[in-house]
């Protein structure tokens, strides 16, 4: 069922009725992760989780501040803007596929699409727009194309609160994402949570480990002057775990991103923050 926009805008109650009930269990899962991080890292304000590694390292924190404009100086934002406004053969643009030209929408992604019965990330939505307009799709792993576009769209939502919605119908997708994050797997028998929940703030391969809450709020990252999409970044961790990485854009990674971003609900979206170059090991 589609609700008319003006009803959505005018009545919060109508919004709830129209969009269907939310999954109460999702909130409980987030509260549990938040409580664990809070008790392990009592001195760290939850708002600072979005700093990632830098939350635990003064040197990294000052580098982050020095490189606050990395997305601009690297040319990533300009490349993304050009792709966002480029005219398709039919005269439309990526911007024309999204409400408000894409302003203040990023915090609501990923979304569960009840008609497709799938999670749609911002990257999937961009590719859906290209497909509808008979344009070639972008590779979700590719920082130069998809990474730049997503970085640009996210810059139109800088500091917007992350507000991912998990309707009851999305239970299976959310649950798969949660299981992928919390289940030990691969040759090393690690779970994502081993490093980013239990290990948050500890050092691994010379870097402090970012907390799970905050990761979904601060993507696409700029590393070595290049945009790195969240799923490309997650695939690096999967490789490190000795898990044959799921394809970017697969339901597995979309569901993982859904869960991970939901954990960041309420945090201020950080569009394309700078990250230190990749460590040689890890
Ligand atoms: C063996 C430890 C380890 C495991 C297991 C691991 N990671 Fe990581 N991850 C790292 C390290 C080290 C970094 C770089 C430092 C940082 O940002 O936390 C990182 C960075 C990240 C980042 C980027 C954070 C940022 O703000 O830049 C994301 C997202 C991420 N990991 C997600 C995952 C997911 C999802 C999984 C499970 C599929 C996972 N990680 C499993 C060690 C790990």
Q: For 24-39, what is each residue's pLDDT tens digit?
A: 999 999 999 999 999 9
Closest Cα partner for 173 from 256, 249, 107, 109? 256
Closest Cα partner for 68 from 267, 271, 282, 279? 271
Q: Would the CA dihedral through 139, 272, 171, 38 be positive or negative? A: positive
Beta-bridge partners for 263: none
Beta-bridge partners for 118: 113
pTM: 0.93
pLDDT in tens, 215-270: 999 999 999 999 999 999 999 999 999 999 999 999 999 999 999 999 999 999 99
Helix, strand, or coil (residue 55): helix
Closest Cα partner for 122 from 100, 147, 158, 91? 147
How many Å lie between the centroid of ligand 1 and the Cα of residue 149? 23
pLDDT in tens, 81-124: 999 999 999 999 999 999 999 999 999 999 999 999 999 999 99
What is the mean predicted confidence (pLDDT) over 67-76? 97
Q: Would the CA dihedral through 35, 201, 157, 246 be positive or negative? A: negative
Catalytic residues, by residue number, are 237
Residues 6+ apart with CB under 8 A from 253: 231, 234, 235, 246, 247
How many Å lie between the centroid of ligand 1 and the Cα of residue 110? 19
* Minimum CA distance residue for ligand 1 atom 3: 195
What share of residues in the chain are helix, strand, coil (percent, to 5)?
A: 55, 10, 40
The domains located in the chain, with CATH, are 23-275 (1.10.760.10)
The verdict on the CB of residue 215 being under 6 Å from ligand 1 is yes
The verdict on the CB of residue 204 being under 6 Å from ligand 1 is yes
The verdict on the CB of residue 111 being under 6 Å from ligand 1 is no
The verdict on the CB of residue 261 being under 6 Å from ligand 1 is no
Mutation to probe ligand 1, out of 189, 196, 279 (largest number of atoms < 8 A from CB) = 196
């Amino acid at each position: 069922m589609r609700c008319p926009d003006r009803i959505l805008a005018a009545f919060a109650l109508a919004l709830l009725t129209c969009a269907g009930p939310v999954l109460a269990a999702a909130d409980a899962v987030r509260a549990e992760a938040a409580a664990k991080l809070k008790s392990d890292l009592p001195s760290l304000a939850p708002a600072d989780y979005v700093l990632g590694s830098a939350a635990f390292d003064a040197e990294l924190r000052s580098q982050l501040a020095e490189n606050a404009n990395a997305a601009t100086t690297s040319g990533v934002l300009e490349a993304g803007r050009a792709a966002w406004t480029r005219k398709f053969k039919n005269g439309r643009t990526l911007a024309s596929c999204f409400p408000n030209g894409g302003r203040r929408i990023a915090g609501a992604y990923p979304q569960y699409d009840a008609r497709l019965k799938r999670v749609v990330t911002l990257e999937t939505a961009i590719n859906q727009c290209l497909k509808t307009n008979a344009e070639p799709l972008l590779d979700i792993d590719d920082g130069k194309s998809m990474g730049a576009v997503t970085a640009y769209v996210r810059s139109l939502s800088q500091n917007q609160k992350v507000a991912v919605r998990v309707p009851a119908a999305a239970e299976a997708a959310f649950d798969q994402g949660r299981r992928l994050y919390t289940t030990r797997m691969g040759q090393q028998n690690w779970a994502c949570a081993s490093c980013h929940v239990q290990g948050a703030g500890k050092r691994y391969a010379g870097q402090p480990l970012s907390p799970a809450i905050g990761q979904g709020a601060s993507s696409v990252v700029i590393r070595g002057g290049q945009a790195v999409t969240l799923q490309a970044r997650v695939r690096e961790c999967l490789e490190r775990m000795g898990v044959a990485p799921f394809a970017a854009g697969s339901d597995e990674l979309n569901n993982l991103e859904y869960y991970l971003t939901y954990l960041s609900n309420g945090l201020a979206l950080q569009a394309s923050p700078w990250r230190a170059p990749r460590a040689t090991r890890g």
